[in-house]
Structure 1
């Protein structure tokens, strides 16, 4: 909606999911996890800039970014970031996935997390898309994470340009490292790219889900 263009907004799959996300607190021994999957136009080179914004982040790229290692790394993370090609399966949303070094990381895989990341950024096409299941349920990567206890997920609801996503992600992480919440960090990052049509359209594709 045009009237919400300059406001920070979060979307929740359900009132129950919002209450759970709002009540969740970050782990005391949490860490920052940064992941880059294969085949990105940028080659995952932006992770260096993202890592510089945080203290002692764990970074997985190239052949190290396997499904099992990524799951182990993002488990109990205060903040996780996954840059990867995403696939939404409208025929079976539980098989929606993120492409990693050794294959897809699916919703079923994420359900094996002991404690999901407190906040997560999915710089992955269509990773924010959800599909209805019955009268009152939505399925997809975002729904899975929020239902498991992730407080906030920043993810796109459409395909995004890899190169144009980089500047937006760097600005989001600068805000998070400076103490902003996910909603406000995303809002300020969008403002910084308001004069660039491609960057503005890319940033507008990302929504914050959760609380």
Structure 2
């Protein structure tokens, strides 16, 4: 009886909190409209998520896994839509430890030039010289859901705090092989963001076939710009006619304009993550006949923003893009202190309308990332009816299981690029 009496009170508390939050957003809109646009949305119930996942065409292959970090433990929620089963488990790995692991991994892979003594980035041909066995500390998180997701190839994964910065696909399973050997992983910002994007997708469904676009620009400090600026070949080799902007022609305004008409887009450049203001993170592009600097942190804010296509710019846009690949450094980073819908470039792109984004969790290797994307694009072109997530997973597993060079079997190479989705049903190539 006490539980029943308390239920109406809990519902009323929820309504009161929702009303207060709506009032806060109304007052903030005049001062921070971009932030409010990213944060605000209809409050969804679990019943809405359940209904959406059960409606997807690949429902028998799907499981939804959500991680919620606490100070001392992480709660893992697992929902398998075709069995309609929801399970929760508590794993004694807290937020501080997860943050330490994420920072340690980034230190190992990307180096720490500002530390004393400075640490160089990982040598791509000798990745085993640095120990990443500590990733096994994340195996208990996998053990919480793997027995329940057997036979489901696709995992939608949502996590708060530092978890999205950790490569779950590279974490060893209790049996030894990494998670990617058994499951495709697609990151979503959260259940509410997924449903918000799905509703937006339904409202804009019916776009015709649009263009394939590539933008590529090196930094002023890059000794051989052509090594970064030839990525249109990755798309044209798959058989697509490509509209390309390279070098000094790849300006902020020109790239943003083309993204507004692109079904498939590929951008190669340097990226920047602003730890103080994540909405000012973005892609470093050309401006006023000059390539950007790849060290924007040393510039004034005005000079930096002059070359940045920011998350703020993208959040204001309406993109029809079904697939957007960012072969740039720092594109998958986000505010690790945020809860729920995380702030960062990828999240802004998904809110702006992109169905699927491929982005990097650390600084990618030029050669291995190119090989993986060649396999990915050719797979999309040769089998357009295949779900996009499966094509990406096959390309990832090919790099892992049959690497072009021995060192490419290391997670540094095959797990660097990750798939971020909005949960729409438009995962197949148009």
With normalisation by structure 2, the TM-score equals 0.46
Distance change in 2, residues 1:20/1:136 (3 Å): closer
1:9 correspondence with 2:185 = yes
Secondary structure (helix, strand or coil) at the match of 2:258 reads helix
Q: Does the 8 A contact of 1:154 with 1:182 survive in 2?
A: no
Larger Rg: 2
Instruction: Report how far residue 133 of structure 1 moved.
Output: 5.9
Residue 184 of structure 1, aligned match among 387, 390, 404 = 390
Distance change in 2, residues 1:18/1:161 (3 Å): same
Equivalence map 1:1-211=2 (5 Å): 1-3=171-173, 4-6=179-181, 7-22=183-198, 24=201, 25=205, 27-39=207-219, 42-102=227-287, 103-132=307-336, 134-178=338-382, 179=384, 180-194=386-400, 195=403, 196-200=405-409, 201-210=412-421, 211=423
Secondary structure (helix, strand or coil) at the match of 2:325 reads strand
Q: Does the 8 A contact of 1:27 with 1:76 survive in 2?
A: no
31-40 or 141-150: bigger deviation: 31-40
Match of 2:62 in 1: none
Deviations along 1:115-169, one digit per CA (max 9) or x if unpaired, are 2422211111120111146543310001101122221111111111223321112
Instruction: Report how far residue 198 of structure 1 moved.
Output: 4.2
Instruction: Report how far residue 197 of structure 1 moved.
Output: 4.7
Distance change in 2, residues 1:70/1:137 (3 Å): same
Which structure is higher in helix share?
2
Instruction: Report how far residue 10 of structure 1 moved.
Output: 0.4
Distance change in 2, residues 1:52/1:20 (3 Å): farther
Deviations along 1:32-61, one digit per CA (max 9) or x if unpaired, are 111112236623223223223243221111
Secondary structure (helix, strand or coil) at the match of 1:98 reads strand
| Number of residue pairs the alignment of both structures matches | 211
C-alpha distance in 2, partners of 1:67/1:198? 36
RMSD across aligned C-alpha pairs, in angstroms? 2.2
Q: Does the 8 A contact of 2:326 with 2:358 survive in 1?
A: yes
Distance change in 2, residues 1:198/1:85 (3 Å): farther
Q: Does the 8 A contact of 1:26 with 1:118 survive in 2?
A: no
Q: Does the 8 A contact of 1:76 with 1:117 survive in 2?
A: yes
Indicate the structure whose relative CO is greater, using CA pairs within 8 Å and at least 6 residues apart. 1
Instruction: Report how far residue 193 of structure 1 moved.
Output: 1.8
Q: Does the 8 A contact of 2:316 with 2:352 survive in 1?
A: no
60-69 or 102-111: bigger deviation: 102-111
Instruction: Report how far residue 96 of structure 1 moved.
Output: 0.8
Distance change in 2, residues 1:49/1:121 (3 Å): closer
177-186 or 78-87: bigger deviation: 177-186
With normalisation by structure 1, the TM-score equals 0.89
